[in-house]
Structure 1
Amino acid sequence: MTADDQTALNCQNVTKSFRAGSRIVTAVKDLDVEVHVGKITGLIGPDGAGKTTLMRLAAGLLRADRGTVNVLGLDAAREALKVQASVGYMPQRFGLYEDLSVQENLDLYADLQGVPVSARKTRYDELMHMTGLAPFTKRLAGKLSGGMKQKLGLACTLVHPPRLLLLDEPTVGVDPVSRRELWAIVARFVKEEGTTVLLSTAYLDEAERCDEVIMLDEGQLIGQGPPSQFSDPLAGHTFKVRIPDRKNRDVQELLAGRPGVVDAVIQGDAVRLVLARDAEPSVETLLPDEKSATVDAVPPRFEDGFITTLRERRGDGMKPPERTAADSNGKTSDTDGTVIIVRDVKRRFGDFYAVKGISFDVTHGEVFGLLGANGAGKTTMFRMLCGLLPASDGKLQVAGIDVRKTAATARARIGYMSQKFSLYGTLSVADNLQFFGSAYGLSGRRRRDRIDWATDEFELKPVLDDTSGALPLGYKQRLALACALMHKPEIIFLDEPTSGVDPLARREFWHRINALASAGVTVLVTTHFMEEAEYCDRMAIMMAGEVLAFGTPQEIKQRARSEDNPEPTMEEAFIHLIETQEESPTPPRPNE
């Protein structure tokens, strides 16, 4: 095998720029990378690092301004059509036709990819078996859950067996069970068909499974190699910190910003700490006022290396966002007790129940999580609580207001950040802030003050005149949260707020949520990042419109504890609960 035969993708001195309003943005700059045949290579980096641009260059959909992109021995600029015939590309928003059935989508993509009719049945059977979609070939794609749509998108990409498979964040927005299934499909193609895979991901545990990773930042290559290349240098610099009777998120805030602290993130029953190479890992140095604290060494992981590499490159340590008193309305609500009451709530769509008699309470200043597989009913529950969707039956009370009777009054007391970017994409950032300030009843000096606060607090000044729909995902998230907080709500609903957001932006986001909770704001959140669930005081895990489990993170994980796995992670506990329920004779998940 020659050197060319061993390389599926080779980029040499590649630069690609775009115009964004009046600015020129260089998406990739002087990039030299290789993707090796028969391997799974992870592509990682913060928002705006150039990952999608590199994918599109490799797929022959963009032409580099400078440099060469060689794909499977073909020049991607001069032989783009040949490249596209040899490569499978699944973008972040894969183009399923939702008004067509699963089978009709497969047929359409087989036609587009020139798959002979005689070869289709065998290929379809294999793909449907592998993805678990065989019982659903007649179902409309639009009626599938998020995880099933992703699996169908992958199947359509693989109808014609590609030599190089490009997957741009294929697991964003899917639950841990579906995420594991997607990985099993990809691994099987690599093993059985020799497919080469370049996969971008915001999940760093996924990157750790790859044979190699390519790390980008601001369009430039930061490093390439096996995941251990990034984690091994941190041996002796990673720890777990515990303080008895203190919430982990409070411990995290105590550590953030301390000299020598590179990263502090909640992990299980402790706070995972990464220290600079010259920092002293002692309680006296880190937490001098917390005599009961413990600091224990743990092995480094890839995520530690990723965060350290980026922060060393940028020359800063862990700096939580500065916060002002304007983060909240300063109220402690009418009571420091229960602020959300849900009793036997149901939501029916025709004969189908998306929510089946759910009950729970949320107390003042609590961070409460709703977790579940795709299609479990989480978003439906959120929309009912926000007064955006009427309940079919049951009691819904938010901030002392009956949502079923006076939804508009309740909405004035809450903030809502939806699963998908729901601001006005054709308006500028400044115009969105103006609009949402007015929509929440703010005017005059009060509105100007809140817009100034949002601009400073969320560091939006550099992008105020940019069209919001064209912002990087991290900025979109900041803007969406800023708009949701314009009127100083007592309760905020966050529906998968960090889906697809890079790890640095997720950390920044959760520092803000911690501050809101500390200021007395009640937070309800859904997430597919199981480590984020550790930030919750309590949570409910849903499936098929019902609650499978309810309690603190530790109580939930206790249900999955066994001799073989005495310390399960939240993701392992989640998968255990879902799979245990699926083995029992219960109705299937909604839409599946």
Structure 2
Amino acid sequence: MPLVLAKNLCKNFGDIKAISNLNLQIQKGKITGLVGPDGAGKTTLIRMMTGLLDLDEGELEILGFSLPKDAVKIQEEIGYMPQKFGLYEDLSVLENLKLYSNLQSIEKSKQKQRIEELLEFINLKDFKSFLARDLSGGMKQKLGLACALIKKPKLLLLDEPGVGVDPISRKELWSIVNQLINDGVTVIWSTAYLDEAALCDEVILLNEGDILFNGIPLDLSNTMKGKVFKIVGKLENKRETLRLALKNENIKDGVILGNSIKVICEDEKLLPSLESINAQNCKYEKMEPNFEDGFMNILKGNFNGESLLAKQISELETNGEENLIEAIDLTKKFGSFTATDKVNFKIQKGEIFGFLGPNGAGKSTTFKMLCGLITPTSGSAKVLGMNLEKSSYKARKKIGYMSQKFSLYADISVFENLKFFAGVYGLKGKKRKEKIENMIKIFELEKYRKTAAKNLPLGYKQRLSLSCAVMHDPVVLFLDEPTSGIDPQTRREFWNHIYAMVQKGMTIMVTTHFMDEAEYCDRIALIYKGKAIALDTPHNLINQIGENATMEEAFIELIKREDNV
């Protein structure tokens, strides 16, 4: 008997169909991945399974109980970790666990032992006195998972637990969840990371409330056999080659992979000539497809390499400056804690500079100093040759900044946010009106024009944040985890815009936890415990570990070497 059984399930929000006539079965003792683009219905489906949302039509059975009538019985038997960090930030790790054990009616005599077991299990024993708000992103997710497990559930529902979490912490989360499977817990894991989806026992791919695929991840990957190719050799301009390749009608998708380019084409005979895409000193090689290739194909992702955002940006002037961003012995201390420790780097005009590191490494602190939002304890930050402490207003007029946390005005509409930021950046009259309408069109925000920003799906929140950050055509753009939690299609769109803006002369510094995105950058700085421990091209960093290593393996190994592990 399946643990989850849905028949003709429907859920609408006004005119929007969130779940449409859905039928599925989820079996016991497996990790089932729930994937799909933003707004596909993943969170809605999970919340319906918990009994927090009522169904409009159809039937839904969980653990043999029917919803909505048996909601209380179901909630006693399941664990649920929501997408947003839902714990109490002003309580310590231990206090949060005690609170949840009381809420789950765990006997006082058994509470202490269960909490100690969980602290050991999630490796937070040494942090039990820390306030939840002071934990790194990975630690917060582990604490959220522990609270969901306080009363050992039969079914565990995880809504994007890996969002904003570095690769090391995500590996730890997977290790924890795999142990739960061995203990007889069934897991439903909603994710935006397709490498995570590929690790699941089975996957349900949703789009606009419908199931497009339900099965073993490898089966979806194998639909792309013989359709994935790599351009290798002496690429003079990777971004220009990718742009030209994507303009060819036979190329359905393509991304930069370090020193090579991956392209998707239905038939080897239809590949464009290398001369036509400015890759004359290169060759095509066949590649094994991955889950993302199958995912993009089934969603009919088809990119032409053009960016409407970059089209409406004029060629950017930098007053002859070569190094547009510079950190000189940049240091920030909070009391006795050193968040950033004598960090040095220079970023040249037209460069995409990646800033990687585990949660709590000091990335966001460094970003904020470079943007003039935090004053360094010592050292200096320069943008466009200007010291931000002395010339911050002048510099900020030419800077765009998209913060890690959604930082727009949550209670006002999409249109009102755009209008406000246009005003802040000094856009007036006809130019302001045109710019706002351009952003709404480019980022497909029309259907959400009057929606309060807090009610947007995560991917659309990120679109709105990016549109506000580039409203004034900045010369330098800081992007702090711009694609965290958004689906691969929207990530492709974002990077399409990033590539094209750099071609117009923009300089971009970006942090990311997606290791494939790190390979899109010209150079990478790896920051750990406040220090820059590596600085080089993605290709060279990978080669330090091994010729066939991945970026994720390089990331983990360089940190291990720093710790002498």
1:212 alignment counterpart: 202
Q: Which residue among 310, 313, 327 is the counterpart of 2:299? A: 310
Instruction: Tell me which residue corresponds to 2:355.
Output: 370
Q: Distance in 1 between matches of 2:543 and 2:310?
A: 38
In 2: Cα distance, 1:271 partner to 1:41 partner:
32
The match for 1:387 is 372
Q: CA deviation at 1:318?
A: 2.5
Give the counterpart letter for 1:117 in structure 2: K
Q: Residues 94 and 478 (structure 1 numbering): CA distance in 2 closer, same or farther, change over 3 Å?
A: closer
1:264-295, Cα deviation, whole Å (9 max, x unpaired): 1223432222223x563545289465322311
Task: For 2:140 and 2:506, locate their aligned partners in 1 and report how far apart those are by CA, in whole Å.
Answer: 35
CA change 1:326–1:253 in 2 (3 A) is closer
Q: Which residue of 2 aligns with 1:263?
A: 253
Unaligned runs of 5+ in 1: 585-592
Question: 2:113 and 2:310 mapped to 1: Cα distance?
Answer: 63
Superposition pairs of residues 488-567 of structure 1, within 5 angstroms: 488-561=473-546, 566-567=547-548
* Alignment coverage as a number of residue pairs: 565
* Conserved? CA contact 1:243–1:251, under 8 Å: no
1:57 corresponds in structure 2 to: 48
Which of 436, 455, 463 lines up with 1:451 in the alignment? 436
Partner of 1:294: 283
Alignment of 1:198 onto 2:193:
no
Deviation of 1:458 after TM superposition, in Å, equals: 2.5
Offset of residue 457 of structure 1: 2.7
How many Å apart are 1:378 and its aligned residue? 0.5
Q: Deviations over 1:100-155 (max 9, x none)?
A: 11111111111111222233333223222221111111121111111111111111
Counterpart position of 2:6 = 11
Task: Indicate which of 27, 35, 44 corresponds to 2:35.
Answer: 44
Return 139-148 or 454-463, whichever deviates more: 454-463
Could you say which residue in structure 2 is the equivalent of 1:156?
147
User: Partner of 1:275 in structure 2?
Assistant: 265
Which letter maps to 1:308? N
Q: Cα offset for 1:430?
A: 1.6
Q: How far apart, CA to CA, are the structure 1 residues paired with 2:425 and 2:496? A: 25
Deviation at 1:519, TM superposition (A): 0.6
Q: Name whichever of 284-293 and 359-368 sits farther off.
A: 284-293
Quick one: structure 1 residues 559 and 84, their matched pair in 2 at CA, closer, same or farther if it must change by over 3 Å?
Answer: same
Q: Does residue 123 of the first structure (1) align with residue 108 of the second (2)?
A: no
- Post-superposition offset of 1:182: 0.3
CA distance in 1, matches of 2:493, 2:33: 23
1:453 positional shift: 2.6
Deviation at 1:434, TM superposition (A): 1.1
Amino acid at match of 2:244: L
SS at match of 2:230: strand
* Amino acid corresponding to residue 170 of structure 1 in structure 2: P
* Percent of residue pairs identical: 45
Q: Against the structure 1 CA distance between its residues 119 and 249, is the aligned structure 2 distance closer, same or farther, given a 3 Å change threshold?
A: farther
The structure-2 alpha-carbon separation of the partners of 1:301 and 1:182, relative to structure 1 and needing over 3 Å to count, comes to: same
Alignment counterpart, residue 563 of structure 2, candidates 582, 586, 590? 582
Contact 1:215–1:222, Cα closer than 8 Å, also in 2: yes
- Residue 401 in structure 1 maps to residue 356 in structure 2: no
Distance 1:361 1:173 in 2: 26
The DSSP-based 3-state class of the residue aligned with 2:372 is coil
Letter in 2 for 1:92: Q
Q: Check conservation: 1:283, 1:294, Cα contact below 8 A.
A: no
C-alpha contact 1:496 1:528 (8 A) present in aligned 2: yes
**What's the secondary structure of 1:236's corresponding residue?**
coil
Find the aligned partners of 2:25 and 2:549 in 1 and give their Cα distance: 37
Secondary structure class of the residue paired with 1:342 = strand
AA aligned to 1:86 is E
Give the deviation of 1:326 after TM superposition. 5.3
Q: Distance in 2 between matches of 1:120 and 1:268?
A: 50
Task: In structure 1, give the amino acid aligned to 2:104.
Answer: Q
Mapped pair 1:87 → 2:49: no
Could you say what secondary structure the match of 1:358 adopts? strand
CA–CA separation in structure 2 for the residues paired with 1:383 and 1:226: 43
1:573 is aligned to 2:554: yes
Cα distance in 1 between the residues matched to 2:9 and 2:308: 40
Residue 327 (structure 1) shift: 4.5
Q: Distance in 2 between matches of 1:257 and 1:284?
A: 13
User: Measured at CA, do residues 357 and 156 of structure 1 come closer, stay the same or move farther in structure 2, by a change above 3 Å?
Assistant: same
1:136-151 equivalent positions in 2, closer than 5 A: 136-151=127-142
Q: Tell me the CA shift for residue 394 of structure 1.
A: 0.7
Q: Which residue of 1 aligns with 2:60?
A: 69
Is 1:355 matched with 2:329? no
SS at match of 1:53: helix
User: Aligned AA for 2:279?
Assistant: E
Which whole-Å CA distance do the structure 1 matches of 2:350 and 2:279 have between them?
A: 24
- Paired position in structure 2 for 1:172: 163
Contact 2:245 2:272 in 1 (8 A): no
- Whole-angstrom CA distance in 2 between matches of 1:560 and 1:128: 33
C-alpha contact (below 8 Å) 2:317/2:505 kept by paired residues: yes
Q: How far apart are 1:436 and its partner, in Å?
A: 0.6
Report the CA distance shift for 1:274/1:120 in structure 2 as closer, same or farther (over 3 A): same
Matched residue, 2:401: 416
- Distance change (3 Å), C-alpha of 1:75 and 1:169: same
TM-score when scaled to structure 1?
Answer: 0.92
Q: Check whether the contact 2:421–2:468 (CA below 8 A) recurs between aligned residues.
A: yes
The answer to whether the 8 Å contact 2:349/2:507 transfers is yes
Moved more, 400-409 or 351-360: 400-409
Q: Is the 8 A contact 1:328 1:521 kept in 2?
A: no
Match of 1:25 among 16, 36, 47: 16
CA distance in 1: counterparts of 2:273 and 2:393, whole angstroms:
52
Over 3 Å counting, the alpha-carbon distance change for 1:62 and 1:453 in structure 2 is closer
User: Retained in 1: the 8 A contact 2:32–2:203?
Assistant: yes
Q: Is residue 114 from structure 1 mapped to residue 105 from structure 2 by the alignment? A: yes
8 Å CA contact 1:328–1:490 kept in 2: the answer is: no
From 133, 139, 146, give the equivalent of 2:124: 133
- CA separation in 1, counterparts of 2:179 and 2:200? 14
